Amino acid sequence: MASFNEILSQVKRQVREVSVEDTRARVHGAGGEPPPVLVDIRERDEYEQGFIGRAEWIPRGFLELKIEDLVPDRNREVILYCAGGTRSALAARSLQELGYERVSSMAGGFRAWKQAGHPFDRPRNLSAEQVKRYSRHIMLPEVGEVGQGKLLDAKVLCLGAGGLGSPSSLYLAAAGVGTIGMVDDDLVDESNLQRQILHNMERLGMPKVESARKTLQALNPDVKVIAHQTRLTSENILDIISGYDLIVDGADNFPTRYLLNDAALKLGKPVVHASIFRFEGQLTTFLPHEGPCYRCLYPDPPPPGMAPSCQEAGVLGVLPGIVGTLQANEALKIILGAGSTLSGRLLVFDALGTKWRTLKLRKDPECRVCSKKPEEIELIDYEAFCSIAG
């Protein structure tokens, strides 16, 4: 029978090892090739003492179970590390048997990384209650405890506590987004309850932002809800949105949409935009100075009377639920840095036909706003030019 040291020596002859310096250079993209996927396979107590910043965390006991979700392409380069390089070598051999052709073990492990003086991060320590609450997130390699920490640290502003703001804010709160701002100057009305699920009959006449606060904090006490009972204007918008990472736009009028677009570009804030009308919903994401902005689609506000509101034309009650939930999905992807956003694409949903269409959007190189430098963008109140005023 072979001893463990004999087996380990045999494995290390079969598995490629990379140095700490080589790992650091390749993870940061040296050489022009796509960086490898760096995977920390240590146990929780080790991981909590610190980890390499760009590493994904999969404890050794779950590696074979979860690696295909994290790295579906078996030709993608993968570098594993543990505390000292032993477990990662054995794990690399296991991944080779699963068909991963470019898997390596970092020699010396995390101990060698620290001894070399390279920077490392410490994870946010979740409480036992948070680990239980967000367990289905933590199971996902694309989220994990690091991603959940990002959500808890995130600050999202929901513009509107109505049809779109209701489902988007509810799912953001449920996901554990730590700070949610709600902007709305309206009061709860009985006609809202057909679609605005933040509110109920007991809150008729209550400010919508206060009703939203009660609902969201009852759903998740981790969430801090900041109420902005006001209407956005050129005088207050920069002060309000500057404290948030991104904006979920559920505005129901053109003046606010144009003002938000200009202010978000000025401050470099992503905007997840949506609109609903009768049986149709539209959704896209505006990433400042990357993809198109709202004015690339609609350079000028419509003249008065040309674009009726939902108050005038009606809306199917379930429609904002569908579209608002997709807004929350876009916001979570931006926070986590996972997946692909809808930047450059407009998603259109037809509720009557249950049909989806995706339209390609292009950035206008001569756009009167996003082609300017941020300091050159001027904010204007658009009520005089749009169909909804006051």
Residue 256 lies in a domain: yes
**DSSP-assigned beta bridge partners for residue 32:** none
Handedness of CA 132, 339, 171, 243 (dihedral sign): positive
* pLDDT tens digits along 294-304: 999 988 877 66
Residue 237 lies in a domain: yes
Chosen domain end from 84, 108, 123? 123
**pLDDT grade for 10, boundaries at 50, 70 and 90:** confident
Domain match, 113 and 216 both:
no
* pLDDT tens digits along 194-242: 999 999 999 999 999 999 999 999 999 999 999 999 999 999 999 999 9
Query: Cα separations (Å) of 20 from 58, 84, 327?
Result: 20, 11, 41
Domain match, 158 and 111 both:
no
Whole-number Å distance between alpha carbons of 26 and 253:
48
Q: What is the CATH number of the domain that holds 46?
A: 3.40.250.10
Residue 149 lies in a domain: no
Helix then strand then coil, in percent of the chain rounded to 5, is 40, 15, 45
Whole-number Å distance between alpha carbons of 58 and 70:
9
Domain match, 236 and 114 both:
no
Domain match, 98 and 204 both:
no
Residue 210 lies in a domain: yes
User: 214: helix, coil or strand?
Assistant: helix
Say how many domains are in the chain: 2
Query: Cα separations (Å) of 219 from 136, 156, 319, 337?
Result: 17, 17, 22, 25
Q: pLDDT at position 278, please?
A: 93
Mean pLDDT of the chain: 91
pTM of the entire predicted model = 0.77
Domain match, 218 and 341 both:
yes
- Supply the range of the domain harboring residue 201: 154-385
Q: What is the CATH number of the domain that holds 248?
A: 3.40.50.720
Chosen domain end from 69, 104, 123? 123
